[in-house]
Every structure is written in C-alpha cells, then in structure tokens.
Amino acid sequence: MFSLKKNLKEYRVLGWAILFAMSGQVIAAAEATAGDVKIGFVDIQKAITETKAFKKSQLKFRMELKKEKGIIDARKKKVETMLIEINKQANVLNPALKKKKEESFLREKKDFERYVQDREEEFARREKAALDKISRKMLGVLKQLGKQKKLTMVLEKKTVFYSDSSLDLTSLATKTYNKLYP
C-alpha cells in the first residue's frame, strides 16, 4: 500500500512537470502569435462627428429646425390666444357659444400637439438615417484602413485603457472619409 501512494505521488509530480512544460510551450506559442497581432484603435464617435458630411447634415438640420420652430411658435401663439379669448369672454358668452369655442380650442390644441410630436419623430428619423448612412460609410473606411495598415483588427478606443497613439486611427479615418465622400 505504501508503494501505491509513492507511485501516485510520483505520477502527480510527473503530471505537474509535463503540464508545466506544456504551459511553457503554450505561452511561447502565444507570444510568437502575439507578435503578429497589430491592433488599431478609433474613437468612432469623434471620427464621425468630425467629418464634413456630419457637420453639413447638422447645419442642414439646424436650419430646418429653426424654420420649423417658427411654424411651431406661430401655432402655439394661436392656441394661447384662443385660450386667453375664452377666459376673457367666459362670463359674457352664452353657454352654447362658450362650449363651441372650448371645443374649437381643444381641437386646435390637440392638432398642435400632434403636429409637434409628428415633426419631432420625423426629424429624429431623418437624423438617425443620416447618421446611419455616415456610420456605414465610416465602417467601410475603417476596414479599408485596417487592410492598408495590415492590422489584425480595429477596436473602439473607449473600451481600451491604454494604446500607443500611433495606432489611433481616428483623425486618419476622418480625413480618409472626407476624401472619399466630399
């Protein structure tokens, strides 16, 4: 029985020695492979927002929003004026006319609120579509830069704690995008 324990102990030691030797080979293989890995980094949000296309679309949206704000303000003023008139005339109007004006006011208010909501949804949809279009093109630019620089992969910079600044593709991606999509 004593010899069985001794043999088990020897096998365990032998097993650990083999495992240790194999782990050294695995580490050496990983180091050799890691030498071939080259990773680029990009702040995708900055790369996109710095493009001429994004800035142009934002300017266009601001102009359209300013125009739309004027229309909304005019409609809002109309609704507010209707309410003021109803409140001023509440004591002198006969009940049927007062009810008719209140119904008209409520319809106008509801139409106004619906109009504002519809316009907000439309602008959000259009802005998202424009951003999606720019984003898809930017991903194509990043793939192209990754191939040109022979990178293994390109990662979002926000998920990385440290990276060599020479591997940051953000400004290069923006410049390349502006050249490809003027």
pLDDT at 12: 52
CATH dotted code for 37-180: 3.30.910.20
* CA neighbours closer than 13 Å in the CB half-sphere of residue 108: 17
Token duo for residue 91: 């004591």
In whole angstroms, what is the distance from residue 130 CA to residue 64 CA?
Answer: 14
CA 28 to chain centre: 40
Nearest CA among 144, 147, 159 for reference residue 42: 159
Question: Is it the case that residue 17 has pLDDT exceeding 80?
Answer: no
Phi and psi for 154 in degrees, rounded to 5?
Answer: -125, 125
Question: Is it the case that residue 35 has pLDDT exceeding 80?
Answer: no
Q: What is the mean pLDDT of the chain?
A: 82
Instruction: Report pLDDT digits (tens) over 123-177.
Output: 999 999 999 999 999 999 999 999 998 888 888 888 777 777 888 889 999 999 9
DSSP E strands in the chain: the ranges are: 39-42, 153-156
Token duo for residue 69: 């704000």
Residue 10 pLDDT class (50, 70, 90 cuts): low
Nearest CA among 23, 78, 7, 51 for reference residue 175: 51
For the whole model, what pTM was predicted? 0.65
Token duo for residue 21: 């030797």
- For 14, the 3-state DSSP assignment is helix
Indicate if the alpha-carbon torsion angle 24, 150, 182, 131 is positive or negative. negative
